[in-house]
């Protein structure tokens, strides 16, 4: 006859709300969806930084090879050294490396040559502005004779 609320009985909405709040299935999927972009960006950042370190090592290797060529042949010019370095770097897949030579005046029977290289490595991620890292390295070799 009369619908009386029974003490302790829950209405349909309250039951559904409690059942939804207590359900944890899919929670880890949502957590992964929130964290995954950050982890992926971190992974790409680590990869890009490692690649830049590899490029720096390659530039250093080419610079040392150029300095050895200069040490063996003191008459090489700036253009010759740049060509030696460019040839080595092209084999390694690097471009736009600037190589310069500075020679000190003779002192004690030999001169010192400073071979310098500068290189800009650009890290570019989609949806972010490019980030440029400038590297400079130097090798000093004695030039005996000449």
In the chain, % of residues over pLDDT 70: 91
Helix (H) / strand (E) containing 27: helix 27-72
Model-level pTM greater than 0.75?
Answer: no
Model pLDDT, residue 4:
55
Model pLDDT, residue 39:
94
Model pLDDT, residue 31:
87
Model pLDDT, residue 142:
86
CB 143 within 8 A of CB 110: yes
Pairing mode of beta strands 98-103, 131-144: unpaired
pLDDT average, residue stretch 34-49: 91
């Amino acid at each position: 006859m009369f619908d009386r609320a029974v003490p302790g009985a829950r209405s349909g909405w309250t039951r559904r709300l409690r059942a939804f709040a207590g359900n944890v299935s899919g929670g880890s999927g949502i957590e992964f969806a929130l964290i995954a972009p950050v982890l992926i960006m971190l992974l790409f950042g680590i990869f890009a930084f490692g690649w830049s370190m590899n490029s720096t090592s390659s530039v250093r290797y080419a610079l040392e090879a150029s300095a050895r060529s200069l040490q063996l042949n003191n008459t090489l010019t700036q253009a010759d050294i740049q060509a030696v370095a460019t040839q080595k770097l092209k084999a390694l897949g690097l471009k736009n490396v600037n190589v310069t030579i500075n020679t000190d005046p003779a002192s004690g029977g030999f001169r010192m040559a400073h071979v310098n290289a500068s290189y800009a490595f650009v890290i570019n991620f989609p949806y972010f502005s490019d980030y440029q890292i400038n590297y400079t390295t130097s090798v000093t070799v004695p030039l005996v004779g000449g």
